[in-house]
Amino acid sequence: ALDGRCLVQDRLGDDVLELLPVAVQVPHRGLEHAPGGALADLFCGVGLFAACLGDRFARVIGVENDERAVRDARNNLLRDRRTGDEVEVVCADAAAVLARWREGDWRDGDLRYKAPDWPLATVVLDPPRTGLGDAAAAILAALGPARIIYMSCDPATLARDSATLAAGGYGLARARVIDMFPQTSHVECLAELVRR
């Protein structure tokens, strides 16, 4: 959109609908003065968060374990006026990527990201219902990004992972419940954690 908002277009028959997803609108706020560095979008799917937030970062790294989604994410991010030097999307397990980053580098496959070259400024993650897990959350905290934006479809796993991140030096800046599935018991939770 002209005002800087990220719109999602959806086609319904011959009609094209433009949507401003609240799930993207919320983490978009507060990033006006985000540090350069890198945005890592873990469990990135087709790259929705990376596409909407990536223009505030020098580099965007997407991690997704579904090959078809990785192909779509690459296309979406490169179409979004970025070059191959600014964008990387890898088909891999997010926990495995975090473990490699903790060691300082991961050059297997097509991911060339090296932590000292591009400081990890913000991590966005939208894991499956099982969450990130204690081990991966502890590694993420040790990597020390300034901000973690965590979208969760299970409040219990968000609470578990947030406790691990808090033990690693993060505090909750804000949280929001998003009713993406009206008239059901399912909710999405969005938490922003910042390094203390």
Q: Per the residue annotation, which of 44, 52, 91, 153 is the catalytic one? A: 153
91 is catalytic: no
Please say whether the beta carbons of 128 and 142 come within 8 A.
no
**Burial of residue 149 (number of CB atoms within 10 Å: 0-12, 13-18, 19+):** buried
In the numeric block, which tokens belong to residue 146? Answer: 């300034």
Supply the angle between the helices 155-167 and 134-143 in degrees, to the nearest 10.
Answer: 40
The Cα–Cα gap between 132 and 140 comes to 10
Structure tokens at 169: 């030096």
Amino acid at 146: A
Do the beta carbons of residue 149 and residue 132 sit within 8 Å? no
Residues annotated catalytic, as ranges: 153
